[in-house]
């Protein structure tokens, strides 16, 4: 994460979009936080970990409207004050942790847009949503960073809250391979039943990521670890060099569990 932070600072983004699995959960719709700020803390940390970040309201509304134009079921969400610009929405740990390393502690903090997937919606809707965000970023004169906050299998340890299931390690190996091989297009072929068995919180945000980086981007897997009951992966995406392809020779995706 420290390395991602260094690369983030070097890219000098004007705004950062964070897709998190741990914010609001809305049946049948993706969410865009349209409050004026998001703020939160991580209880129980050895040292204080708390952030208060301004929301880029213009981009948040832009994403919400563009999703609507492209048929992505979505809603805007605020919290507390009836005037969204005066409201402060909770910043969940899925957004707080990556922002702690990427933009949240800058002076001033990098403005953010927090979005949440919908597990009721199919993979294609999430991929389309990511493409829409990439299109808005490309049309903008500002530098827009995108963070897919995605913790993976949660059943790596028998004494963890979800128990042990070998599907977690199998799922995590699959995801590592897809990132290394630049094959996020195969995410949609992973059966949802397998994702659920692995207790993964990553599939939906990575579909966003695939949509946003499907054309002209290359990936570098920086780290994978499962030190407790859940797996964590960090990867950096950047524009591919001109004249090179970010994807290997096409091959047919099979609707089976990769290993």
**pLDDT tens track for 213-222:** 998 899 999 9
- What is the CA 48 to chain-centroid distance, rounded? 24
**pTM of the shown model:** 0.90
Judge whether 143 lies within some domain. yes
Residue 163 located in a structural domain: yes
The residue count for the chain: 259
The answer to whether residue 258 is domain-embedded is: no
Q: Per the domain annotation, does 245 fall within a domain?
A: no
Name the residue range of residue 18's domain: 2-239
Q: How many domains are contained in the chain?
A: 1
Count CB neighbours of 84 within 10 A: 20
The answer to the question of residue 257 being in a domain is no
- Output the domain CATH number for residue 93: 3.40.830.10
Place 239 in a pLDDT band, splitting at 50, 70 and 90.
confident
Give the pLDDT mean for 118-143. Answer: 96
Q: Distance between CA 121 and CA 220 in Å, rounded? A: 29
pLDDT tens sequence across 172-196: 999 999 999 999 999 999 999 999 9
CA distance 153 to 172: 6
Whether 127 is covered by a domain: the verdict is yes
CA 23 – CA 91 distance, rounded (Å): 8
Question: Is the pLDDT confidence value at 44 over 90?
Answer: no
Is residue 160 included in any domain, yes or no?
yes
Q: Pick the range with the lowest mean pLDDT from 38-52, 107-121, 122-136.
A: 38-52
Residue 151 lies in a domain: yes
Note the pLDDT of residue 242: 57
Burial class (CB in 10 A: 0-12, 13-18, 19+), 110: buried
């Amino acid at each position: 994460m420290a390395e991602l932070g260094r690369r983030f600072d070097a890219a000098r983004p004007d705004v950062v979009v964070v897709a998190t699995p741990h914010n609001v959960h809305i049946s049948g719709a993706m969410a865009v936080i349209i409050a004026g700020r998001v703020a939160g803390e991580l209880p129980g940390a050895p040292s204080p970990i708390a952030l208060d970040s301004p929301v880029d309201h213009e981009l948040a509304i832009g994403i919400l409207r563009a999703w609507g134009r492209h048929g992505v079921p979505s809603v805007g969400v605020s919290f507390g004050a009836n005037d969204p610009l005066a409201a402060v929405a909770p910043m969940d740990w899925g957004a707080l942790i990556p922002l702690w390393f990427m933009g949240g502690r800058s002076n001033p903090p990098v403005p953010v847009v927090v979005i949440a997937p919908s597990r009721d919606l199919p993979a294609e809707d999430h991929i389309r949503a990511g493409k829409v965000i990439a299109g808005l970023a490309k049309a903008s004169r500002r530098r827009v960073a995108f963070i897919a906050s995605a913790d993976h299998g949660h059943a790596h340890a028998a004494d963890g809250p979800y128990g042990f299931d070998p599907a977690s390690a199998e799922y995590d190996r699959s995801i590592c391979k897809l990132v290394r091989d630049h094959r996020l297009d195969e995410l949609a072929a992973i059966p949802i039943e397998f994702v659920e068995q692995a207790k993964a919180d990553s599939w939906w945000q990575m579909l966003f990521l695939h949509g946003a980086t499907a054309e002209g981007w290359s990936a570098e897997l920086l780290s994978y670890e499962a030190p407790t009951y859940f797996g964590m992966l960090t990867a950096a995406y950047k524009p591919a060099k001109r004249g090179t392809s970010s994807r290997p020779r096409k091959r047919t995706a099979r609707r089976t569990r990769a290993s």
